[in-house]
Amino acid sequence: MQGEKIIPRQKFALVYIISGSIFLLLGLILEFFLYSKKMYDMPWFLVGIGACLGIYGLLQILNAERIGTHVVISQKTIKTFLTNYAIILALLVLVIVIIFIEPRFMQIRVLLDIMTQSSTRLIIALGICFTLLIAGTDLSAGRMVGLAAVVSTSLMQTADYANRFFPGLPQIPVVYAILAAVVVCLLFGVLNGFLVAQFDMHPFIATLAVQVIVFGACSLYFDMPPNHSQPIGGIRSDFTSLGQFKFFKGFFGGFSILIPIALVITLIIWFVLNKTVFGKNVYAIGGNREAAIVSGVNVYATIMGIFILASALYGIGGVLEAARTAGATNNYGNGYELDAIAACVVGGVSLNGGVGKIGGIISGVLIFTVIQYGLQFINVSPMWQQIIKGIIIAIAVAIDLSKYRKK
């Protein structure tokens, strides 16, 4: 084909390895020989970028037989690359602009803060992604997060707190509060799944109805005497440590426990989606429901499983969010489902169903967290932040629909 260039995979990988080596060497030189306080942690970011490029190059060589011994570069492949990674490229430009405006953004402490804030959002987005993969949605996610936060904190107050939710309740183990919060969310997950699977109700309507029910139930619980809708406080330290404990506190302010928790849950969900029959059935239903039925997929059971699993993840997310903030109200989680849906779509999960990867969801969550954190960092008005977020969502959906039409 005219204008097409074919490059051996090893030569292509060598470009990444050499580029990575340059970045890594430059970072080490800046850190140990030419360091200036104005650089903040930029040298270590360069080292990290260099290491990632080098590892990617090595993986290209190791997997050459599986992914192809040659790389095709043409106008079509370049256009495809720019289309698939347009949002990420735009994010990189935004980060560079933020760094020019406020160099303090180049700190590992900032990166760790972004990863910490992304952790609970990622868990919620992983729950939402199952519903999107079958061309559905779940509008009840945010309210379930709030319900889990209220239920767990109401059981985890200190004995000497003046306004205890349950004055006569003994100090129960933390695991009981977690189980109670998750089980309550599971009940509403069953209701979601039943409405969608049994009555073939559109997930938008079914989960909207459950969203209203969950918020009403949570508000009634929250208004019970003697609490009377007062913010729940006086939370026990063994519970708040689930969201506030940090490893290696001497290392740039510490490494939040939320990060490894989110990582473990992400690995579990990746395994479920990619290595189990249930995961394959989810993609099959989203890709072509009629074909899935013909091939013997139990659509009813799979849809029930999707909403039950999603509700469990919302419950865990709510518990961790409550532990991180050491409190809760019935308004916790409001709007979280919209952020999660937006992060999934930006990360490549198709609204038409059947398409989406865990890696894309991670990048989508990080993109929105970086945008929010970065714009706050340079004191951009919250109103402008909403406008920028809306533009990104619109662009991501437009790209998704254009790819779907081409297929």
Per DSSP, the residues of 29-45 read: HHHHTS--GGGTTHHHH
Confidence at residue 407, expressed as pLDDT on a 0 to 100 scale:
57
Measured between alpha carbons, how far is 155 from 238 in angstroms, rounded to an integer? Answer: 12
Residue with the bigger pLDDT between 120 and 347: it is: 120
Reduced to 3 states (helix: H, G, I; strand: E, B; else coil), residue 276 is: coil
Q: What is the pLDDT of residues 115-151, one digit of tens each?
A: 999 999 999 999 999 999 999 999 999 999 999 999 9
Nearest to 350 by CA among 139, 80, 135: 135
Buried b (16+ CB within 10 A) or exposed e, 379-393: ebeeeeeeeebeebb
Alpha helices in 134-234 (DSSP H): 141-154, 174-199, 203-222
Residue 130, token pair as written in the block = 């199952």
Domain range 96-406, CATH class: mainly alpha
pTM: 0.92
Average pLDDT along the chain:
92
| Confidence band for 392, pLDDT divided at 50, 70 and 90 | confident
Nearest to 363 by CA among 271, 233, 256, 266: 266
Q: What is the pLDDT of residues 27-66, one digit of tens each?
A: 999 989 888 888 889 999 999 999 999 999 999 999 988 8
> Contact at 8 Å (CB) between 317 and 124?
yes
Question: Residue 132 belongs to what H/E stretch?
Answer: helix 108-133
- Domain limits, the chain: 1-84, 96-406
> Contact at 8 Å (CB) between 191 and 138?
no
Measured between alpha carbons, how far is 38 from 102 in angstroms, rounded to an integer? Answer: 11
